[in-house]
Amino acid sequence: MNSPPTAQVPGNAPSADPAQRRREQYGWYVYDWANQVFITSVVTVLIGPYLSGLACTTAGAPDTATCTGGAYYVHPLGVQLHANAVYPAVTTVAILIQILLLPLIGALADHTKHKKRWLFWLAFIGSVAVSMLYFTGDDYATASALFLLANVAYGASLVVYNSFLPEIATPDERDRVSTTGWAISYLGGALLLAAHLVLVLQADSLGVTEGEAVRIAFASVGIWWVGFTIIALKPLRNRYGELAAHAARPNVRISTVQLVHTVKEMRKYPQTLLFLLAFIFFNDGIQAAVRYAAPFAAQDLQLDQGVLMGTILMIQFVAFGGALIVGLIARRIGAKKAVLGTLSVWCVLVTLAYFLPAQRPLLFVAMGIGIALVLGGVQALARSMYSQLIPRGREAEYFSLYQISDKGSTFLGSLAVTIAVTLTGGYRVAIFSLIVFFLLGGYLLWKTDMRRGIRAVGNEMPARI
């Protein structure tokens, strides 16, 4: 399959034509719409209970309720794991691979004149991997390997995708563009998740088992992801700045040398480093809460699949409005203050989660509404704030470090959850521990001087920070 035709534009600055910028922004939004279904339907809802169910069956547990807290183990690659720990363990390995791989992906992308092609093929690999989950049957090991591949491809695609933001939006537009992209992504995730909810709940009447319905959902995510990626790429334009202009094609050696230089160079930008450190901590809490909500609800709170999927679906619609509201607040008081406010809300939410009683779906739904209101805004604003703190022409390379900070934090969270679940058999203690990450991240963000950081990299100062 060939990637869509590309056009090359010299320089990395946004177009001076507002109409052209809007066209590119619309395309950029569509990729948020395209990839969010992987996070919403696969990562947040389906894959955790699915892998745990397969592993519990392999370990000999009669059902997932008995498996939770029981001595049911599997031994992938000779390592003893509680069956419920398979999902966080696979996530931990995927994140570790991304920590090692994404810097090189970013450096290579900055040396190419064909970033659109890179984005297409990374999305294509991820979509094929998630679609292949349809054929795994009861084999938890194969399902785990395919999920690992899809996860790595998804993370790599975001490095390239995020690097387009400084190229399609002026400094004063970035908060709006980033939060709008997040908001639209929630609508896309909600639309397909609604179809998956009907599919799973009506599986018997449709003549399929619940397991078969889940695998059909996996396949549809892959088709959605690659299909809308093709649409997203059409209005985007390839640019070539200082790095790509001097390279006929990406070169691993040159890109690696440039990456090492970038890491050393970042010492000149202490506010950028401080922001990344803050992001590592507070993003750890967000990502872990999203990734492990499904197994926490299914196993610790003993809620059925319909309640879980319905709650996650509700979160998508509320999060659409929440991202826009937080974006409006940021335009009035500044992005930094808005993010600090949302982190305070997260502290309250994870504390409440620890005390949630089992089999009380209304309380779980109420907590879901609180999560939805702050979920997208903090991530969108963090992406926008970071784009202000990186030098122009090095977007993909610097965003690879941002993505590593994202995956590095999730690695710490996933590792902690893996250990906690292996020791206790459940997720409750691990969820509560996330409050530490929100507090540390909030403190480091409060210490970050955005104005000094923006001036240090030579970027234009936005009206509000």
Q: What is the tens place of the pLDDT at every residue in 139-153?
A: 889 999 999 999 999
Q: Mean pLDDT for the chain?
A: 82
Reported confidence tier of residue 120, pLDDT bands at 50, 70, 90: very high
Which residues touch 306 (CB under 8 Å, ≥6 apart)?
A: 197, 200, 201
Q: What is the mean pLDDT of residues 96-109?
A: 77
pLDDT of residue 247: 45
C-alpha dihedral, 130 to 288 to 335 to 368, nearest 10°: 90
Per-residue pLDDT at 4 exceeds 60: no
pLDDT tens sequence across 332-371: 898 899 999 999 999 999 888 888 888 888 888 888 888 8
Closest CA to 213 of 225, 226, 201: 201
Q: What is the pTM of this model?
A: 0.71
pLDDT tens sequence across 228-262: 999 999 998 887 544 444 444 555 566 566 667 77
Which of 4-8, 27-31, 275-279, 403-407 has the weakest average pLDDT?
A: 4-8
Q: Return the higher-pLDDT residue of 395 and 242.
A: 395
pLDDT of residue 200: 87
Which of 85-94, 223-232, 309-318, 345-354 has the weakest average pLDDT?
A: 309-318
Coil/strand/helix, residue 238: strand
Is residue 414 within 8 A of residue 288, CB to CB? The reply is yes
pLDDT tens sequence across 190-210: 899 889 989 988 888 999 988
Please give the radius of gyration of the chain, using alpha carbons only, rounded to the nearest integer: 21
Q: What is the mean pLDDT of residues 362-391?
A: 84
Which of 57-71, 110-124, 443-457 has the weakest average pLDDT?
A: 57-71
Does 12-457 carry CATH code 3.90.580.10?
A: no
Per-residue pLDDT at 284 exceeds 90: no
pLDDT of residue 242: 44
Q: What is the mean pLDDT of residues 94-114?
A: 77
Greatest mean pLDDT among 62-66, 152-156, 216-220, 408-412: 216-220
Reported confidence tier of residue 1, pLDDT bands at 50, 70, 90: very low
How many angstroms separate the CA atoms of 228 and 15, rounded? 24
Per-residue pLDDT at 407 exceeds 60: no
State the CB neighbour count (10 A cutoff) for residue 325.
Answer: 17
pLDDT of residue 215: 94
Dihedral pair phi/psi, residue 21, rounded to 5°? -60, -40
Which of 65-69, 193-197, 294-298, 440-444 has the weakest average pLDDT?
A: 65-69
Closest CA to 238 of 2, 9, 14: 9
How many angstroms separate the CA atoms of 32 and 56, rounded? 34
How many angstroms separate the CA atoms of 399 and 157, rounded? 11
State the CB neighbour count (10 A cutoff) for residue 162.
Answer: 24
Is residue 185 within 8 A of residue 324, CB to CB? The reply is no
Per-residue pLDDT at 111 exceeds 80: no
Which residues touch 246 (CB under 8 Å, ≥6 apart)?
A: none
Reported confidence tier of residue 397, pLDDT bands at 50, 70, 90: low
Residues of the chain with pLDDT > 70, as a percent, come to: 88
Reported confidence tier of residue 10, pLDDT bands at 50, 70, 90: very low
pLDDT tens sequence across 176-194: 888 888 788 888 888 998 8
